[in-house]
Amino acid sequence: MRFPVGRLPDEALLSGLATGDQELAVVFVRRFQHRVFGVAMAVTRDRQLAEDVAQQTFERAWRHAQIYDSRRGSVTTWLTTIAHNLAIDAVRARRTEPVAPEDLDALLGTVTETPERWALADEASARLRAAVSRLPREQARALMMAGIYGMTAQQVADAEQIPLGTAKTRIRAAMGKLRTTLSAPDRGGHVQ
């Protein structure tokens, strides 16, 4: 019987990573590098900086594999959260200018696009993607600024040239709608 290491569950790979098994570590990096690099690129919009962030993500995962707790989320979620936090820190350390409107619109378009390949995504992600696409444009922009780029409500207000209270309301309203979407009973069927 041959057992391809590529079939090991994510948690098994992470456990192997914790033991210092170098072969499993390579497989682990190979399995998640596209996801991690994608998050880093989306936030930093800088290929070199994104590579640095992605590398730091795997170094941190390797160093802290022992404290991963599956009850708090999947390995993928754990890794992408690490990558996201590192990317935001890296951007904050390098520049202060707000995200360019065209970059924000492009990201929003990517997040809400529903091509055929997304039909195979898990149901919750498909519902969330559809819910984001249904948000009023100004709420979706505020959500992207805060949720993806890590901008505070004040930074959103400055970038959109709106009062602070309005920025807070947009973030809150958008997140509230997405929360309702995720907590609603599964009605079946994917986003068309």
Partner 1 sequence: MSSDANCEKLRDIGAELALDVLPGRERADAIAHLDSCADCREFVRQLTLVGDRLIGLLPCQEPPLGFESRVARSLAQQAAADGRTATRAPAFPVLRGRARRARIRLGAAAAGLAVVAGFAGWGIGTAVQTVTAAPPRTMESEPMLVGDMTADSTAGSPIGEVYAHPGSPGWIFVTVDLAGHGSAYSGRVSCVLERSDGTTVRVGDFTVRNGQGHWGAQTPVDANSISGARLTSADGTVLARAHLQTGHVLTRDTHAPSQQT
Shorter beta-carbon distance to partner 1: residue 100 or 184: 184
Three-state DSSP class for residue 156 = helix
Shorter beta-carbon distance to partner 1: residue 3 or 137: 3
**84 part of the interface to partner 1, by CB under 8 A:** yes
Of 18, 49, 90, 159, the one binding partner 1 by CB under 8 A? 18
| Whole-angstrom distance, CA of residue 146 vs CA of residue 162 | 15
Three-state DSSP class for residue 75 = helix
Of 1, 93, 185, 189, the one binding partner 1 by CB under 8 A? 1
Handedness of CA 178, 88, 29, 65 (dihedral sign): negative
Q: Quick one: which segment of 20-28, 92-100, 184-192 binds partner 1 (CB under 8 A)?
A: 20-28
Q: Closest approach of Cβ 131 to partner 1, in Å?
A: 9
**35 part of the interface to partner 1, by CB under 8 A:** yes
**Contact map string, positions 116 to 155, toward partner 1, x by CB under 8 A:** --------xx--xx--x----------x--xxx-xxxxx-
**157 part of the interface to partner 1, by CB under 8 A:** no
**16 part of the interface to partner 1, by CB under 8 A:** yes
**Residue at token pair 């390797």:** 62
Shorter beta-carbon distance to partner 1: residue 12 or 162: 12
Handedness of CA 18, 20, 21, 26 (dihedral sign): positive
| Whole-angstrom distance, CA of residue 91 vs CA of residue 45 | 9
CA distances, 38 to each of 34, 54, 102, 109, 184 (Å): 6, 9, 18, 15, 29
Q: Closest approach of Cβ 175 to partner 1, in Å?
A: 4
Q: Closest approach of Cβ 96 to partner 1, in Å?
A: 15
CA-angle at 36, arms to 65 and 74, nearest 5°: 50
**70 part of the interface to partner 1, by CB under 8 A:** yes
CB 11 within 8 A of CB 75: yes
Of 49, 65, 86, 90, the one binding partner 1 by CB under 8 A? 65
